[in-house]
Structure 1
Amino acid sequence: MKSYDGCWTCRLRKKRCDEIRPVCRNCSALQITCHFGEEKPSWMDGGLGQKEKAEEVKREVRSAAARRRGALPNEVLEPIAAGLATGGLNRQSTSIPFRGEPTPDSSPGWTSTHTPPGTEPASSTARQDSWNRPDGLSISNLSDGKLGDSELDRRFMMFYFDHFFPFLFPFYKPPLLEGGRSWIIELVVGNQAMWHTTLCLSTYFVSVALDGAISGHKVCKTAAWEKVLNQMGVTFMMLQRNLQDIASSDTQDLIVKTSRIMGSIVQLQRFEISAGNFENCRKHLSAAIALFRKIFQAAENDIGRDELPTFSGVLSHMGRPLWAITSQPSGAWSSDQAAFRFYSALLIVDDIIASTCMEEPPRLLEYHARLLTNSGSPDGRPPLNLEDFMGCENWVMLQIGEISALEAWKKSAKKSGQLDMMELVARASAIKQTLLENLARLDAEANTPETNPLGLFTLYNDQLPPMPGGCTAFVTRVWAHAAVLYLSIMVSGWQPGSAGVRENVVRILELLEQMPAPELLRTMVWPFCIVGCLAEPGEESRFRAMADALVPHQLFRPARKALEIMENVWKCRDELTIDTDFAACVCSLGYMSLLV
């Protein structure tokens, strides 16, 4: 039935609207734009404009439906999150039929940098065969002389290595003396789930690149999107098989195989976010965290003592580095070690950012000291330097995690009537002091020239735009000011007009408008969102301009999602109370958006 009082989207679609604002249930369920407003939109003209808008909404519905099909099924995710600690998964509980399921003989198995006892090491010929053979990961028929699926897959894969991976992770430039990024090829070629997930990413990226670039692009995009959906189905099947495989593994095999599955899920998460699907973030994150814990539990069981395994101890279970250099704190990581470091860093960041809108501490908080601080390390380096992976120094992410944990404590204590404001202020003051001291250090070092002790070996790292103090210092400064804003909201409530909030909003806006390249914003989506939510009406256009500068928009879905959240907040700015928090803003769309 038509709705005369609901949103304009439902009226256009001639559907009954429940009139929930800012997003009605119809639009929320379909993941489409919900148009509210007292004034009739110009396209509701009863003629050509309305007809064109109706077609646009239909395309949006179809696109969202395709994205939703990319969700990792509950049958895969829930056993991971709930049952991994028991030591294995029931084969029947995770078995889902897939059409065209490849046989085990038609796909390469696991490859590893270590050799299990009693087996011969894998030859380079076997690994080369898994890369080249047309009957390997995808079956092709070249008898007609046309480009086969296998060759096409390899081209998509190289497109990912050459273009999409550097685009997604511009700060990840490991030195050649640590092995560089060769582990990506090693892992993808030897891991079926990772192969298909990577194909999903690359195919999506190619489909966007083709959009409007050549004639007949709609056919190309349709074919590319069908390939994405096909690869997603195979990915789910491979993840199930891999989960079943780890149940009977010894400690070393268990750690290596579990880390690969964890990496596949983290990468799957990044694909869905890149494609604009945020509704499965919690499930993917829970699954990856459960696997991460299982890895440390396996290492702890192997130690057999009452001490917690270190990160380096877990890495040692994956084999030995390829080589070691006396003058360097670490050698060249094996492919499994490098992959685990990379995906662990992403997972730590994802967990911290997710905790800011889930009203609970980071679930990996207990690992922060072991992974993100030097913990008495003789070389003074933490096991993971997040600035090497996402451009932000560890101390900022540590403090955001602490603020999130303090907010969860505050809400729990307030609910039980036991909130001690003096304790809250004391703990918050310590966090603020850490943030301000480090910000002062960054400001003092802003004009310090960067040194390059390895010369030629790090030349290829200089791909980020040059700026005073370096890009990581710039990104870290933006994140730190956003952390101060987050802390202020947590302690004092939603007060966008207060002097402290305004000072940091103005400072972050100034920094963001000094970016040497608009694309750098994709590494600062969470700060972009929190400062935007606190912006004044006169500043809204500046945030829209920054988001609009990211083209094509399909490659910057998290930034577009952040803008969508801001605009929701701006619409109901006068209705927000002091009890409003950042979590409520992020979840105003009806689900948690992981802004990474």
Structure 2
Amino acid sequence: MEPPSRTSRTSHGCWTCRLRRKKCDEQRPVCDTCAALCITCHYGDKKPEWMDGGTRQEKMIEQLKREVKQNAPYRRFERPHVSGDKVFNTGSGERLAGPQNMMPEPKQNGRDRSKESHVSPSQGTSCFHLDRSSVVGRSDSILTTFYLQSVLPFLFPFYRPPIARGGTAWILELMIRSPVVRQATLCQGCFFFCLAQGTDSRQVICDTVFSQVREAFQSLEIAIQAMGGSDIIQNPQGAVQIMASIVQMLHFEVAALTFENCGAHLNAALALFGQLFDRSAIVEPVGLRAHFNAFMDRLGPSSYIPPAEHILIPSAEQDAFYFTTALLLFDDVIASTTLQKRPRLYQYHQSLLKSTEGCEPIINLEEVIGCQNTTMLQIGEIAVLDEWKRECQNAVNLDIIELASRATPIKNALEGQIMSLESEPSKGCNPSGNLLDFLAPNDGVSSSRRLVTLVWTRAALLYLLVVVSGWQPASDEVRYHVGQIIDLLANKLPPSTLPRSMVWPFCIAGCLAEPAQRDEIRRMVEALQPSIVFSTARKALQVMENVWHRKEEDAYQDFSACFKAHGDMVLLV
């Protein structure tokens, strides 16, 4: 941000330009000077309280400087024309792969969307700047609302952040100010909205959405390239916006489109997380937990809700990083069971997912995916054990006694978790008397989390039994846990929880299911309609069918072989 120039000072423009001592063209609701820099344009007849000539004014100057630096990539944002397939580089060796065989995106209703009207809050308040080359029009407003109300709860049924902490407003805020987040979100909303309207030609929908997905990843590539590797730690807000978009698009692709690129996109997100988190460690080298907290502080500051300025709400980037980190930890663990390798984020498990010295874990996976941290930590440990076993087998020095010794604490932890979950009473809706408790949606999601974790824990135990003892579907212990999982999924849990939260444990149990149980499993998947939005569950059924049709002499020896038989990464998230 260049030093203020007294010669260009304005006394009639927006308060941002007055503070920066710049000439203002007095356009409303966003002046051209603020629009060019992609910074917040404060305007109104009443002088803001922070314009006090003292400490608060200095803080606002620093905040505007951060905005100028943060939004630098988007000032260089242009929509390119790219034909054919495209592979995108994240600047760290990882790549974003665009969907193949996709058609160019058609104009919407023959309009030039760049000329649609600008939506802004009322005068006298600050507004989030919208890039004039990519403004929010009527159709985008509808798709955004539809995404927040319907698509987000479908893709992440257990993610219900309390409104007292801002709820899902962070997504709306980032959509308004970030082209990459906006494009990634709108293509998802468009896809589901068209399906919900009962459009006759699903192929037309798929072709159009594939085109939009391609454009979304082109936007991500441009933002990454504009930022550059050295700028990532200097512009953490922008990097978090990109990482959140990649992870959201990854889950959308897996849910409704294809598994073809999920490996490349997961690698890109993990690489970006590593660049952010590892570089922040250089600044604050006092432990991973402290690194995370220090990085979260850099994504602030948190904001106050007027007029009660004691109500502190996390910044949009803080919420985005928390949500994205939870999903990355989860995705990474599930990918490790396919790849037969330890999770790439394994070094962060203890500091982010485990309680320490009476402190709650930094990341609570149950709030995002419905499964408690303890179970996911053990699945990560089993993946580590599986990798060790495979390395020993390759070196022809596997010690069965040591394998059992390493497995015992994991098994004890899982069995203890099962006992605890089964003895825990079901939690119903019990409002505390707080108005927010009464306003919260009561759809049974919170009360089903215990059963969801129980399903995951039993599946984790099956995973461990196969790693230690091999493929033994006729074992009494295996048959018992398979039966319990199928019963929970078929009779105890709402059908909506299967497709978006428990496909991995469903597949683990299904691969080991007895012939008499297989028709029930098929019926559970066939009941998920329309099939186009339940790609993960149907991919899991393909894996199971492949296992069921194998001859006994060609039977699989582990779950990794079951997944790898399909030729690509089967990321059941």
Q: Same fold per TM (> 0.5)?
A: yes
Alignment of 1:217-366 (within 5 A): 217-218=200-201, 221=202, 224-247=205-228, 253-303=234-284, 305=285, 307-308=287-288, 309-323=290-304, 332-366=313-347
Equivalent residue number for residue 475 of structure 1: 452
Matched position secondary structure for 2:303: coil
Deviation at 1:589, TM superposition (A): 1.7
Equivalent residue number for residue 381 of structure 1: 360
Q: Deviations over 1:43-93 (max 9, x none)?
A: xxxxxxxxxxxxxxxxxxxxxxxxxx999833335x444599xxxxxxxxx
Deviation at 1:407, TM superposition (A): 0.2
Query: Which of the residues 391, 395, 403 maps onto 2:370?
Result: 391
Q: Deviations over 1:543-577 (max 9, x none)?
A: 01111121111221111111111111111152444
Question: Against the structure 1 CA distance between its residues 248 and 573, is the aligned structure 2 distance closer, same or farther, given a 3 Å change threshold?
Answer: closer
Q: What CA distance in whole angstroms lies between the structure 2 residues aligned with 1:333 and 1:72?
A: 39
Deviation at 1:127, TM superposition (A): 2.2
Deviation at 1:275, TM superposition (A): 2.0
Matched, 1:534 2:512: yes
Equivalent residue number for residue 180 of structure 2: 193
Deviation at 1:323, TM superposition (A): 4.7
Query: Which of the residues 415, 432, 436 maps onto 1:436?
Result: 415
Matched, 1:372 2:350: no
Question: Against the structure 1 CA distance between its residues 71 and 405, is the aligned structure 2 distance closer, same or farther, given a 3 Å change threshold?
Answer: farther
Q: Deviations over 1:265-298 (max 9, x none)?
A: 1111112112230021211111100001111122
Q: What CA distance in whole angstroms lies between the structure 2 residues aligned with 1:272 and 1:366?
A: 28
Deviation at 1:153, TM superposition (A): 2.5
Alignment of 1:159-198 (within 5 A): 159-198=146-185
Equivalent residue number for residue 420 of structure 1: 399
Deviation at 1:350, TM superposition (A): 0.4
Question: Against the structure 1 CA distance between its residues 344 and 73, is the aligned structure 2 distance closer, same or farther, given a 3 Å change threshold?
Answer: farther
Q: What CA distance in whole angstroms lies between the structure 2 residues aligned with 1:389 and 1:497?
A: 35
Question: Against the structure 1 CA distance between its residues 70 and 386, is the aligned structure 2 distance closer, same or farther, given a 3 Å change threshold?
Answer: farther
Question: Partner amino acid for 1:520?
Answer: T
Question: Against the structure 1 CA distance between its residues 126 and 323, is the aligned structure 2 distance closer, same or farther, given a 3 Å change threshold?
Answer: closer
Q: What CA distance in whole angstroms lies between the structure 2 residues aligned with 1:454 and 1:354?
A: 42
Query: Which structure 2 segments of 5+ residues have no match?
Result: 1-81, 97-103, 108-113, 117-123, 306-310
Equivalent residue number for residue 151 of structure 1: 138
Q: Deviations over 1:71-126 (max 9, x none)?
A: 9833335x444599xxxxxxxxxxxxx9999xxxx799xxxxxxxxxxxxxx9665
Question: Partner amino acid for 1:245?
Answer: A
Question: Partner amino acid for 1:519?
Answer: S
Question: Against the structure 1 CA distance between its residues 573 and 199, is the aligned structure 2 distance closer, same or farther, given a 3 Å change threshold?
Answer: farther
Contact 1:464 1:471 in 2 (8 A): no
Question: Partner amino acid for 1:490?
Answer: V
Equivalent residue number for residue 192 of structure 2: 205
Equivalent residue number for residue 474 of structure 2: 497
Aligned length: 466
Question: Against the structure 1 CA distance between its residues 362 and 294, is the aligned structure 2 distance closer, same or farther, given a 3 Å change threshold?
Answer: same
Q: What CA distance in whole angstroms lies between the structure 1 residues aligned with 2:233 and 2:315?
A: 14
TM-score by length of 2: 0.75
Query: Which structure 1 segments of 5+ residues have no match?
Result: 1-68, 85-97, 109-122, 139-149, 325-329
Q: Which moved more, 1:455-464 or 1:247-256?
A: 247-256
Question: Against the structure 1 CA distance between its residues 124 and 346, is the aligned structure 2 distance closer, same or farther, given a 3 Å change threshold?
Answer: farther
Two-structure CA RMSD over aligned residues (Å): 3.1
Deviation at 1:346, TM superposition (A): 0.6
Contact 1:137 1:192 in 2 (8 A): no
Q: What CA distance in whole angstroms lies between the structure 2 residues aligned with 1:519 and 1:72?
A: 35
Contact 2:303 2:315 in 1 (8 A): yes
Question: Against the structure 1 CA distance between its residues 350 and 573, is the aligned structure 2 distance closer, same or farther, given a 3 Å change threshold?
Answer: farther
Matched position secondary structure for 1:75: strand
Contact 2:300 2:314 in 1 (8 A): no
Q: What CA distance in whole angstroms lies between the structure 2 residues aligned with 1:99 and 1:227?
A: 6
Deviation at 1:400, TM superposition (A): 0.3
Q: What CA distance in whole angstroms lies between the structure 2 residues aligned with 1:203 and 1:592?
A: 27
Matched position secondary structure for 1:418: coil
Q: What CA distance in whole angstroms lies between the structure 1 residues aligned with 2:195 and 2:105?
A: 27
Contact 1:255 1:298 in 2 (8 A): no
Matched position secondary structure for 1:232: helix
Equivalent residue number for residue 569 of structure 1: 547
Matched position secondary structure for 2:569: coil
Contact 2:365 2:373 in 1 (8 A): yes
Equivalent residue number for residue 23 of structure 2: none
Matched position secondary structure for 2:522: helix
Deviation at 1:232, TM superposition (A): 2.4
Q: What CA distance in whole angstroms lies between the structure 2 residues aligned with 1:445 and 1:350?
A: 28
Matched, 1:508 2:485: yes
Deviation at 1:128, TM superposition (A): 6.1
Equivalent residue number for residue 89 of structure 2: 76
Deviation at 1:422, TM superposition (A): 1.7
Q: Deviations over 1:361-416 (max 9, x none)?
A: 0000001111101222x5x3111110100100000100000001110011001111
Question: Partner amino acid for 2:457?
Answer: A
Question: Against the structure 1 CA distance between its residues 331 and 532, is the aligned structure 2 distance closer, same or farther, given a 3 Å change threshold?
Answer: farther
Question: Partner amino acid for 2:128?
Answer: R
Q: What CA distance in whole angstroms lies between the structure 1 residues aligned with 2:478 and 2:398?
A: 24
Matched position secondary structure for 1:529: helix
Contact 1:269 1:281 in 2 (8 A): yes
TM-score by length of 1: 0.72
Identity %: 37
Q: What CA distance in whole angstroms lies between the structure 1 residues aligned with 2:504 and 2:83?
A: 24
Equivalent residue number for residue 554 of structure 1: 532
Deviation at 1:231, TM superposition (A): 2.3
